[in-house]
Amino acid sequence: DVKVTQSSRYLVKRTGEKVFLECVQDMDHENMFWYRQDPGLGLRLIYFSYDVKMKEKGDIPEGYSVSREKKERFSLILESASTNQTSMYLCASSQGLGFFGPGTRLTVL
């Protein structure tokens, strides 16, 4: 059974903190994605990666960076968290079909 896991289900951070969200997949997929989901806005692509050490900006990359040192792991980094980054963060991996992790609900106070 395919599996995408995310490091935390719920996270509370303070403004200005550096935040790491980790995602791991066990399907040997080339492609991995980070989305955020907000009411009324749907899923918006932050960054994606189609190979180790490769990354591409999505639609809303500002305030975020990513790291993909190993094929199975894709990390999203908020360098200095702000309140407008409070959201549900969803990681996905894909090789044609996309599979999602359970999501991390991040609150920035």
Partner 1 sequence: RKEVEQDPGPFNVPEGATVAFNCTYSNSASQSFFWYRQDCRKEPKLLMSVYSSGNEDGRFTAQLNRASQYISLLIRDSKLSDSATYLCVVNEGFQKLVFGTGTRLLVSP
* Contact positions vs partner 1 (CB under 8 A): 30-31, 33, 35, 40-43, 45, 48, 50, 56, 58, 90, 92, 94-103
Closer residue to partner 1 in complex, CB, 17/37: 37
Residues in the chain: 109
CA distance 57 to 59: 7
Please write down the HEC assignment for all residues of 41-66. CEEEEEEEECCCCCCEECCCCCCEEE
As measured in angstroms, the least distance from the Cβ of 7 to partner 1 is: 15
As measured in angstroms, the least distance from the Cβ of 14 to partner 1 is: 24
Closer residue to partner 1 in complex, CB, 78/90: 90
